[in-house]
Amino acid sequence: MNQSVSISSERRLQGIALSIFAVLVLSPDALLIRLVNVDPWTLLFWRGLLLGFSLGTFLKFARGASPTRGMRMLGWHGGLAMALFSASTILFLHSITRTSVANTLLIMSTIPLFSAWLSRIFLGEIIPPRTWLASLLVFAGLGVIFAGSFSHGTLWGDVLGVASSLCMAGYFVVARFHSQQSLLPALTMSGYVTAVICLPFATPLAVAGGEILYIAIAGLLVLPVAFGLLSVAPRHLPTAEVSLIMLLETILGPLWVWLVVGEMPLRATLLGGALVLLTLIAFYGNCGVRRR
């Protein structure tokens, strides 16, 4: 049975609306990172702490529940989701500070592809054969991006971006598997876990006055709202479709950075990124993922 058919039209529209709004909220995140002149570990500490605090406050007052109680209800799947999101967050920020915003976001656009693979392995979702052709084209596009980064000394940032993309795809697959339960407790705890991991390497008091505002906007508004909604969206849509909508950030994120700080993508990034985006849009716009 086609999975997309099994989802009611109302739920599908809710999933699409949630995903689009989440991406619009998330799109300035890369710009906020660029506007803060602190080391990655310090930035990760504050982003994680504020994310955990904001979502924990929401759970307490809106649902009358604590993150730890929610984690106990989720079981080991909640722990896995927490670990995957924390890993993706740490890898993403280290990627974006070691390569261009456009490179990192274009590499993160491979989440739909990785989501499809992981859904096939762990959820038994049947993927159309054209997925393998899409894989070849996407990796060809990434090869072009990597070649440009190699000549500019930013290849390591691209590698970290791929690792972050894999972890985020895994998080969405767990969210899809737990479609009847909210992963907000896991998302909340991932913020605290990230802060604890990064604290030994961070200098939290080194943040300048003006930069505190940018960190607060990201940690208290952008990240909790965007990823909170993206955690709910897979309950209404297949993971590949949620990830596909996230491709909007690949366009909007570099646009904000270019308009504000003037960071222009390399030619190799534009060429490889065009191949990646066009391939993903063509092959996953109507991917027809099915479940056995």
Measured between alpha carbons, how far apart are the two ends of the chain, in Å?
Answer: 8
Q: Rounded to the nearest 5°, which phi and psi values hold at 263?
A: -80, 115
B/e letters for 102-128, b = 16+ CB within 10 Å, e = fewer, are bbbbbbbbbbbbbbbbbbbeebebebb
d(CA 125, CA 119): 6
pLDDT of residue 66: 82
**pLDDT tens per residue, the chain (292 residues)?**
344 444 567 777 888 888 889 989 999 999 999 999 999 999 999 999 999 999 999 988 877 778 888 888 888 888 999 999 999 999 999 999 999 898 998 888 888 778 878 877 877 776 666 766 777 788 788 888 888 887 787 889 999 999 999 999 898 888 777 766 778 899 999 999 999 999 999 999 888 878 999 999 999 999 999 988 887 776 777 766 776 777 788 888 888 998 999 998 888 888 888 888 888 777 655 544 444 4
Q: Rounded to the nearest 5°, which phi and psi values hold at 290?
A: -125, 160
Going by C-beta distance under 8 Å and a sequence separation of 6 or more, which residues neighbour residue 240? 112, 115, 116, 119, 284, 287, 289
Tell me which H or E stretch contains 22: helix 9-26
Q: Rounded to the nearest 5°, which phi and psi values hold at 266?
A: -70, 160
Task: Supply 29's token pair.
Answer: 């995140």
Contact 71, 77 (CB under 8 A): no
Contact 177, 122 (CB under 8 A): yes
Contact 284, 169 (CB under 8 A): no
d(CA 285, CA 244): 7
CA distance readout (Å), 132 to 135, 242, 256, 283, 284: 5, 20, 33, 10, 12
Number of domains in the chain: 1
Closest CA to 88 of 110, 69, 67: 110
Residue type, 235: R
pTM for this entry: 0.83
**Dihedral angle of Cα 28, 186, 173, 32, to the nearest 10 degrees:** 10
Domain span holding position 161: 3-291
pLDDT of residue 284: 56
pLDDT of residue 251: 81
